[in-house]
């Protein structure tokens, strides 16, 4: 589904990624871990077309993504969430999902040409879809609540629901468990598993919470200062001395 090859990018004199490569199979949950500043979010920013690498390739189901602008990458079926939760705080949970859905629907001019009736039907269909999606995330009771007033755990779930509204095949989650307590993290793990098992999605997750990483990932790649230092099953990674060194050496609490 996703192939990243020989990716390099620097900021000023800093090599944020150096010759990074990995590939993710369809319906796989693939984790990217590593100390702060290792380059994990940068990988997502390159895949989604926000950053241009100086070298390398990113291929989604056979198509080169690096030739595309960010919105075109989204249209190819790549959705993401951000490390700093970014729901539209003044909008209801339902409207947040609708915004994600509309990015996917026909362009305004074409919609207008369809006539009011068709647009209304499409709108009603979008609302039904959004409510179903909210229910899948246990958010049906807060559908009409202003998103900014929701607890962080629900905001993070809502952000994933909004990402899914566009009907992606690849989902990139940047620290979905950041700031969550253990119960919220457990619920989230269950949700992510279901995205793969029931919706057939391919998922790349960046996360510091090792319980989540070890609990849901099929494979894990470890980055340190822009380079991949290890890759394997959660069990292999947990037993890898280089990985332990990278974390302890950096003073990370993970
Ligand atoms: N737009 C940018 N301009 C300058 N430097 C950047 C930019 N984006 C990332 N960097 C630098 O690249 C390095 C990797 O950053 P990145 O955000 O990818 O790390 P990360 O692995 O996601 O870390 P964390 O776990 O703290 O989120 C860091 O040193 C960061 O300061
Ligand atoms: Mg990051």
Q: Among 2-11, 13-22, 169-178, 239-248, whose mean pLDDT is lowest?
A: 239-248
More confidently predicted of 126 and 40 = 40
> pLDDT digit string (tens) for 176-229?
999 999 999 999 999 999 999 999 999 999 999 999 999 999 999 999 999 999
Asked if residue 193 belongs to a domain, the reply is yes
pTM of the model: 0.91
Q: Is 96 in the pocket of ligand 1 (CB under 6 A)?
A: no
- Pick from 20, 37, 48, 52 the residue to mutate for probing ligand 1's pocket: most ligand atoms within 8 Å of its CB: 37
Q: How many domains does the chain have?
A: 1
Identify the domain containing residue 213 by its residue range: 2-90+167-250
> pLDDT digit string (tens) for 50-107?
999 999 999 999 999 999 999 999 999 999 999 887 899 999 999 999 988 776 655 5
The CATH number linked to 33 is 3.40.50.300
Asked if residue 127 belongs to a domain, the reply is no
Q: Is 18 in the pocket of ligand 1 (CB under 6 A)?
A: no
Asked if residue 66 belongs to a domain, the reply is yes
- Pick from 16, 48, 213 the residue to mutate for probing ligand 1's pocket: most ligand atoms within 8 Å of its CB: 16
Q: Is 10 in the pocket of ligand 1 (CB under 6 A)?
A: no
Residue 110 tokens read as 């074409």
Asked if residue 226 belongs to a domain, the reply is yes
- Among protein residues, the one whose CA lies closest to atom 27 of ligand 1: 36
Q: Does residue 116 have a pLDDT over 80?
A: no
Instruction: Report every protein residue that has its C-beta within 5 angstroms of ion ligand 2.
Output: 40-41, 83
Q: How far apart are CA 64 and CA 224, in angstroms?
A: 26
Burial tier of 205 (Cβ tally within 10 Å: 0-12, 13-18, 19+) = buried
Q: Does residue 241 have a pLDDT over 70?
A: yes
Backbone angles phi, psi at 151, to 5 degrees: -60, 155
pLDDT of residue 120: 80
Question: What Rg value do the Cα atoms of the chain yield, rounded?
Answer: 19
Q: How far apart are CA 173 and CA 206, in angstroms?
A: 6
Asked if residue 125 belongs to a domain, the reply is no
Q: Does residue 242 have a pLDDT over 60?
A: yes
Residue 4, beta-bridge partner list? 22, 58
Residue 214 tokens read as 């070890």
Residue % of the chain over a pLDDT of 70:
93
Tell me the CA–centroid distance for residue 20 and ligand 1, in Å. 15
Strand duo 2-11 + 14-24: pairing: antiparallel
| Ligand in nearest proximity to the CA of 7 | 1
Tell me the CA–centroid distance for residue 37 and ligand 2, in Å. 7
Asked if residue 194 belongs to a domain, the reply is yes
pLDDT of residue 254: 47
Asked if residue 183 belongs to a domain, the reply is yes
Asked if residue 157 belongs to a domain, the reply is no
């Amino acid at each position: 589904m996703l192939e990243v090859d020989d990716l390099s990018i620097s900021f000023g004199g800093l090599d944020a990624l150096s010759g990074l490569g990995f590939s993710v199979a369809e319906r796989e949950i693939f984790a990217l871990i590593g100390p702060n500043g290792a380059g994990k979010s940068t990988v997502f920013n390159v895949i989604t077309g926000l950053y241009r690498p100086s070298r390398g390739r990113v291929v989604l189901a056979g198509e080169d993504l690096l030739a595309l602008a960010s919105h075109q990458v989204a249209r190819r079926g790549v959705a993401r969430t951000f490390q700093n939760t970014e729901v539209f705080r003044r909008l209801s949970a339902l409207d947040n999902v609708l915004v994600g859905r509309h990015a996917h629907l026909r362009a305004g001019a074409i919609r207008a040409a369809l006539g009011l009736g068709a647009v209304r039907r499409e709108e009603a269909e979008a609302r039904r879809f959004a409510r179903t999606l909210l229910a899948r995330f246990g958010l049906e009771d807060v559908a009409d609540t202003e998103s900014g007033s929701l607890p962080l755990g629900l905001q993070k779930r809502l952000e994933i629901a909004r990402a899914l509204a566009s009907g992606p095949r690849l989902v990139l989650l940047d620290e979905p468990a950041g700031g969550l307590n253990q119960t919220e993290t457990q619920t989230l793990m269950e949700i992510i598993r279901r995205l793969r098992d029931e919706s057939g999605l391919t998922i790349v997750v960046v996360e510091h919470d090792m319980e989540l990483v070890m609990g849901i990932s099929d494979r894990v790649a470890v980055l340190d200062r822009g380079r991949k230092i290890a890759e394997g099953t959660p069990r292999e990674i947990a037993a890898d001395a280089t990985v332990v060194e990278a974390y302890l050496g950096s003073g990370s609490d993970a």
